[in-house]
Every structure is written in structure tokens, then in C-alpha cells.
């Protein structure tokens, strides 16, 4: 089997109700998709934060066997292609391999430890509302009503906002819901520790990206100072970016994104490094139906860490923000039921792309 063509797409979804994290206000969502075609008629789809340049595709992808996924990865990386763009090609190659072998990708990754994954609702952004606390409380209660047993809220907007609103949401959802917070790198070390000590009183599952993503020493300081798990690394590209953060145990949980870190091929290497260093992996997910599905296959194949009778939940980040490219791009959309998502069982990624939906946003 030979790769005969690669098409790239850059769809943009305009957000109707803009939302903010500590870094930016999101008014549109932009994605890089690739469609890899073979002479056997098998086509694979992939997503990355960006897509590779034409000359990189011509030099390292066209004409190759899709099962050469390591060789293709190295070739693109050596040439200087952004790892997030390599991710798109890599995911498409695994989609092709699964379709060619008539197996879901999780089967190629070593099999499923679980075929249903617990999801946590990612929402609770800051929005323009007359009473932000009331709006957050209402949104959080809505997730509980939908059946979610876990959720994540955005913080990093200053001590007053964070302390008041984290406590209000915890009160509203009760003690039984897993509750994480994410500062999107919005604080310096001192503020992160000061805010962290206050919000930790709300029994938080983790405190995500309190400071700049690559500040290893800063994360070590915060981790020693706070009595809660610290997570991060969703923006990291390639195994080298994760190396010190993992080896120095600067994070309790790393959150590689399959569409940023380098696809399935690189995700597995990062996971092995984390496992060897007793660092937990809970993937980041914020993208189209392709990223959601790829993340589900990884979660199916991720062993419990540690291997306990009552293990720490292997959680899917379930993005609740509006994005038709997540909810409509697959002909059979991935949906949660009572906070649980089933892993697709079809060959490859196990989804069929709706080209009309794709064209609408290109
Ligand atoms: Mg995050």
C-alpha cells in the first residue's frame, strides 16, 4: 500500500458566545486537518494544531507505505515540521492502518483496558455576564444534572475571582463530584501558591497550568507548597519537551494532547516515559471530532496508574463549548451518556467524516 495524496484543510468555527480563559478570549476555533489517500482506496483522517507544508508532505509522506509511520515521523521532524502538524499526519496513518487491518486503533495500541470512559465536563469559562458567579453555579449544576461526575473550571483571573467562584461552584455541586481547576498559565509562582492554598480547601482534583508551561523549577516549588495535584504540559511538542518535567517530577499529571504532542506514535513514547517515572497521564482534548475520537482510543489503551483495585479515574476531557466541528463533523457524533463515553468500535478511528460539514467551515 502506498500513499498517493495528502489533502489539507483549515476549518474555522466562529464562536457565537465568546469565552475566556486566563490567557485569551476565544471568538473562533481554528483547526488543521489532513486527509491521507492510498492506492488501496483506504483514506485516513488526522488533526493537528497546524498542517505540514506541501514540500514536507511531498518529501516524506507521498509514495510511502502508511505502515512506515516511524520513518515518516522522523523524516518530517528532521526537516523541521512543527510537531503539531506531524500529529495530523500521524493520526491519519493510524486511521489507515486500522482500516487496512479492519481493527479499531485501540487494538493496534495493545488493546482496550476499558471500552467506556468516564468524561469530565470542561466548561465554566469566564464570560460576559451580569452576575458571573450565578452563571457559573447554574452551568455547573447543569453538568451534574446531565450526569457528569467530574468537571473543570477556568481560574487564573485574580485571587478574588478564583477564591470566590471556586468555593461557590463547589458548594453548588456538592462533595461527591470530582472538581478540577485550570489557570492556563495565568499566574507567577507566588500568586499560584497563595491562590492555591485558598482554593485547595475545596477538595480539588487537580490545579492545571498554574504558571508558565515550561517553568520546571516553578512547578517543583508549587508542587511542594500545595496539598493538591498539579497538572500541565498540554502544549508540549515532542518527547523532549516532556523530559525534564517528567524526570524531575515537577507535575503529578501530564496532559499531552495527541494533536499537539506528535500523534499516537509520540504519545506512546511520552506515556512510557511517564510510566517509568510514576507520573500520571490524563490527555488534553480541545478540538474536532477527530481529536475527540483519537483521544478516546488512547484512553481505552491507557493502563491504570497505579494498578489499584480502585484506580484513579482515566478521564476524558469532554469539551462543552460550542464547536460544530466537534459535534457535527463525524456522521455518528461522539456523545456522552450520563458522563460516560463509549469508545468507537469501527476500524481505524471508527468515524466517518461529513464532508459537507467540513466544507461549510473551510
Ligand atoms: Mg488546560
pLDDT band at 314 (very low <50, low <70, confident <90, very high): very high
Q: What is the dihedral of CA 246, 249, 251, 254, to 10 degrees?
A: 30
Measured in angstroms, how far is the CA atom of residue 184 from the centroid of ligand 1?
A: 6
pLDDT (mean) for 101-115: 98
The Å distance, Cα 294 to ligand 1 centre, comes to 18
Q: Active-site positions?
A: 284
Here the cell at position 74 is 522522523
The yes/no answer on whether domain 107-357 falls in CATH 3.30.200.20 is no
Phi, psi values for residue 293, rounded to 5°: -70, -45
In 3D space, the residue among 267, 266, 231, 269 whose CA is nearest the CA of residue 251 turns out to be 231
> Could you tell me the pLDDT band of residue 142, with boundaries at 50, 70 and 90?
very high
SS3 state of residue 361: coil
> What residues form DSSP beta bridges with 293?
none
Summarize pLDDT for 150-171 with one digit per residue, the tens. Answer: 999 999 999 999 999 999 999 9
CB 178 within 8 A of CB 149: yes
Mean pLDDT of the residues in the chain? 97
User: What distance in angstroms lies between residue 109's CA and the mean position of ligand 1's atoms?
Assistant: 25
- Measured between alpha carbons, how far is 318 from 297 in angstroms, rounded to an integer? 14
**3-102 adopts what CATH topology?**
Enolase-like; domain 1 (3.30.390)
Distance 61 CA to ligand 1 centre (A): 32
What's the CA angle centered on 268, arms 263 and 273, to 5 degrees?
Answer: 130
Give the rounded percent of residues in the chain with a pLDDT score beyond 70: 100
56's CB contacts (< 8 A; 6+ apart) are: 76, 79, 81, 85
State whether the Cα torsion 281-286-291-297 is positive or negative: positive
pLDDT of residue 166: 98
Tell how far the Cα of 177 is from the centroid of ligand 1, in angstroms.
Answer: 19
Distance 329 CA to ligand 1 centre (A): 23
Q: Per residue in 237-275, pLDDT tens? A: 999 999 999 999 999 999 999 999 999 999 999 999 999
CA of 78 to the centre of ligand 1 (A): 29
Q: Residue 215 region, left (φ>0) first, then alpha (ψ -120 to 50), else beta?
A: beta
Question: Rounded to the nearest whole angstrom, what is the distance from the C-alpha of residue 154 to the centroid of ligand 1?
Answer: 8
Helix (H) or strand (E) holding 204: none
- pLDDT score for 144: 98
Whole-number Å distance between alpha carbons of 242 and 269: 10
C-alpha cell at 65: 507505505
Q: 284 CA to middle of ligand 1, Å?
A: 7
Q: What is the pLDDT of residue 26?
A: 97
Domain boundary assignment for the chain: 3-102, 107-357
Contact between 241 and 255 under an 8 Å Cβ cutoff? The reply is no
Residues 6+ away with beta carbon under 8 Å from 231: 180, 206, 207, 208, 209, 251, 252, 253, 254, 255, 282
Cα separation, 230 vs 196, in Å, equals 10
Q: Is 86 within 8 Å of 32 (Cβ atoms)? A: no
Amino acid at each position: 500500500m502506498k500513499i498517493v495524496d495528502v489533502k489539507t484543510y483549515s476549518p474555522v468555527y466562529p464562536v457565537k458566545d465568546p469565552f475566556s480563559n486566563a490567557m485569551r478570549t476565544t471568538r473562533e476555533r481554528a483547526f488543521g486537518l489532513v486527509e491521507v489517500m492510498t492506492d488501496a482506496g483506504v483514506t485516513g483522517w488526522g488533526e493537528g494544531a497546524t498542517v505540514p507544508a506541501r514540500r514536507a508532505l511531498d518529501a516524506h509522506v507521498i509514495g510511502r507505505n502508511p505502515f512506515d509511520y516511524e520513518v515518516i515521523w522522523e523524516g518530517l521532524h528532521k526537516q523541521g515540521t512543527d510537531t503539531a502538524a506531524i500529529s495530523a499526519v500521524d493520526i491519519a496513518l493510524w486511521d489507515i492502518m486500522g482500516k487496512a487491518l479492519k481493527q479499531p486503533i485501540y487494538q493496534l495500541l495493545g488493546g482496550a483496558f476499558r471500552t467506556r470512559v468516564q468524561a469530565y465536563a470542561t466548561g465554566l469559562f469566564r464570560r460576559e455576564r451580569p452576575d458571573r458567579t450565578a452563571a457559573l453555579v447554574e452551568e455547573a449544576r447543569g453538568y451534574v444534572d446531565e450526569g457528569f461526575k467530574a468537571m473543570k473550571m477556568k481560574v487564573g483571573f485574580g485571587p478574588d475571582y478564583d477564591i470566590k467562584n471556586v468555593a461557590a461552584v463547589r458548594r453548588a455541586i456538592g462533595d461527591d463530584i470530582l472538581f478540577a481547576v485550570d489557570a492556563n498559565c495565568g499566574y507567577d509562582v507566588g500568586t499560584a501558591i497563595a491562590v492555591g492554598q485558598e482554593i485547595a480547601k475545596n477538595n480539588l482534583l487537580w490545579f492545571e497550568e498554574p504558571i508558565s508551561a515550561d517553568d520546571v523549577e516553578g512547578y517543583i516549588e508549587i508542587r511542594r507548597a500545595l496539598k493538591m495535584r498539579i497538572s500541565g504540559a498540554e502544549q508540549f511538542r515532542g518527547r523532549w519537551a516532556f523530559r525534564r518535567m517528567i524526570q524531575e517530577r515537577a507535575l503529578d499529571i501530564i496532559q499531552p494532547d495527541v494533536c499537539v504532542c506528535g500523534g499516537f506514535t509520540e504519545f506512546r513514547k511520552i506515556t512510557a516515559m511517564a510510566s517509568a517515572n510514576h507520573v500520571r497521564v490524563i490527555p488534553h482534548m480541545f478540538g474536532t471530532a477527530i481529536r475527540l475520537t483519537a483521544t478516546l482510543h488512547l484512553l481505552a489503551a491507557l493502563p491504570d496508574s497505579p494498578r489499584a483495585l480502585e484506580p484513579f479515574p482515566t478521564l476524558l476531557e469532554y469539551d462543552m463549548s460550542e464547536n460544530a466541528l466537534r459535534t457535527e463533523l463525524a456522521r455518528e457524533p461522539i456523545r456522552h451518556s450520563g458522563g460516560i463515553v463509549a469508545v468507537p468500535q469501527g476500524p481505524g478511528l471508527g468515524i466517518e467524516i461529513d464532508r459537507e460539514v467540513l466544507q461549510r467551515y473551510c
